[in-house]
Amino acid sequence: MRFLILIFYLLFSGIVWADSLLGLPPLTMPADNLQTVEKIMLGKRLFNDKRLSADGSISCASCHQADKGFADGLKLAKGIKGQIGTRNAPTVMNAAFFKTFFVDGRSKSLEAQALAPFLNPIEHGLKNSQEIVNLLRDEPEYQQAFKIVFKINPDEITAAHIAKAIASFERTLIGGNSDFDRYYFGRDKTQLSDSAARGLRIFRRKGNCANCHEISWNNALFTDNRFYNIGVGSKALETVLDKLLQAQKQGKPITSLNLTPQQLSELGRFNVTGISSDIGKFKSPTLRNIALTAPYMHDGSMETLAEVIEYYNKGGNKNPFLDAAIFPLNFSLQEKQDLEAFLQSLNSE
Ligand code: HEC
Ligand code: HEC
């Protein structure tokens, strides 16, 4: 009964949850970091504050820009002093629903993820978490905000508080109710063009895309939160793969192989688990707002959706760990166009 009252309250109070979340599962908040308006506002400020970087030039929003689908439009992310990393900045939209964070899943929560970019020498470039705290502790506006949100004095602010606020803000970056959602979950057949509707069928059947970019019966995150080798950067590992497997067998550390930063990046999930079969595996990314977040893949190596579709059509790059769900698809020109029209229908309002 109380639940029903809540539903009615939400429906009639102007917060039209049901509508704005069409196509998404319910959002659960961690018990030790519940949402408050003040915390979200503080997190938003931290997310956008360039002073929280070694040279005052970079904020989270530099690489996760609202008008670029919370990515940055670059092939590889660019941090302080123009330094280029080894990976493409993914969107942080709907990150609230991810089970692990980063393309190799090395972080287990948004709170755990949020501090890593500050300490990454190529991104914000700060020395340690104390330095993050010191940069804002003396600022009266921050002092007041931390006091209101966490009921603490300035000398009690820790990196964990900063992480919690940023994570709370990120949990508000939710995108659903796309043309696809209104067509599929809202059962309004006028929402997709004929071409996009055919593309949806290809996505689920012939293309086998939904095998990894999941569509459930009542919601669709377009990720199953699992890791797959689809071969994108596998060429970079060709010359070292035998040595790597050898070292693995002999129990020698990977550091003994002097791999380049690019090769290390291409190891993907293996860097987290140390299991050989995880070599070159990456998290299946969400495809919501995909038309806004070019270029694509963890290395930003594909500039257009047409290029991505062509890649899957040829069956990916052969390598010993290529996933069995990646195989030549023999799409016709029309099928490729339909699939692309479908991917274009995933933009949220
Ligand atoms: C220099 C550019 C840059 C900056 C600055 C940056 N990021 Fe990122 N972000 C990236 C890249 C690149 C990745 C993917 C790296 C990887 O997975 O190894 C990423 C990944 C993420 C993810 C994981 C998304 C997923 O799909 O799992 C989240 C969440 C995130 N960043 C939030 C933040 C927050 C919060 C900040 C500020 C504290 C921040 N980023 C600052 C470039 C940046
Ligand atoms: C075996 C699992 C699997 C299948 C099947 C699959 N994908 Fe993917 N997809 C992935 C993974 C994993 C990535 C990330 C790979 C990387 O970054 O190197 C990805 C990346 C993408 C991207 C780029 C996302 C971004 O933000 O950069 C698009 C677009 C995409 N897939 C569309 C499709 C389409 C369309 C199909 C069907 C023709 C498909 N996928 C089939 C697992 C899969």
pLDDT of residue 5: 42
pLDDT of residue 20: 53
pLDDT of residue 254: 86
Using an 8 Å Cβ cutoff, are 284 and 215 in contact? Answer: no
Distance CA 6, CA 82 (A): 50
Q: How far is the CA of 285 from the centre of ligand 2 (A)?
A: 7
Q: How far is the CA of 112 from the centre of ligand 1 (A)?
A: 12
pLDDT digits (tens), the chain, 349 positions = 444 444 444 444 333 343 458 999 999 899 999 999 999 999 999 999 999 999 999 999 999 999 999 999 999 999 999 999 999 999 999 999 999 999 999 999 999 999 999 999 999 999 999 999 999 999 999 999 999 999 999 999 999 999 999 999 999 999 999 999 999 999 999 999 999 999 999 999 999 999 999 999 999 999 999 999 999 999 999 999 999 999 988 988 888 899 999 999 999 999 999 999 999 999 999 999 999 999 999 999 999 999 999 999 999 999 999 999 999 999 999 999 999 999 999 999 7
pLDDT of residue 349: 77
Distance CA 320, CA 71 (A): 31
> Is the beta carbon of 228 within 6 A of some atom in ligand 2?
yes
Distance CA 96, CA 307 (A): 29
Distance CA 118, CA 136 (A): 13
pLDDT of residue 281: 98
Give the CA diameter of the chain: 65
* Top mutation candidate among 68, 108, 123, 298 for ligand 1, by most atoms within 8 Å of CB: 123
> Is the beta carbon of 230 within 6 A of some atom in ligand 2?
yes
User: Atom 13 in ligand 1: which residue has the minimum CA distance?
Assistant: 89
User: Atom 20 in ligand 1: which residue has the minimum CA distance?
Assistant: 102
Q: Which residues contact 73 (CB under 8 A, 6 or more apart)?
A: 65, 294, 295
* Top mutation candidate among 204, 214, 230 for ligand 2, by most atoms within 8 Å of CB: 230
Q: For 137-153, how does the pLDDT look when each residue is reduced to its tens digit (9 = 90+)?
A: 999 999 999 999 999 99
Distance CA 288, CA 343 (A): 8
Q: How far is the CA of 267 from the centre of ligand 1 (A)?
A: 18
Instruction: Starting from the CA of residue 162, give the closest ligand.
Output: 1
Instruction: Starting from the CA of residue 109, give the closest ligand.
Output: 1
Q: For 171-215, how does the pLDDT look when each residue is reduced to its tens digit (9 = 90+)?
A: 999 999 999 999 999 999 999 999 999 999 999 999 999 999 999
Q: For residue 107, which atom of ligand 1 is closest to its CA?
A: 27
Q: How far is the CA of 121 from the centre of ligand 1 (A)?
A: 13
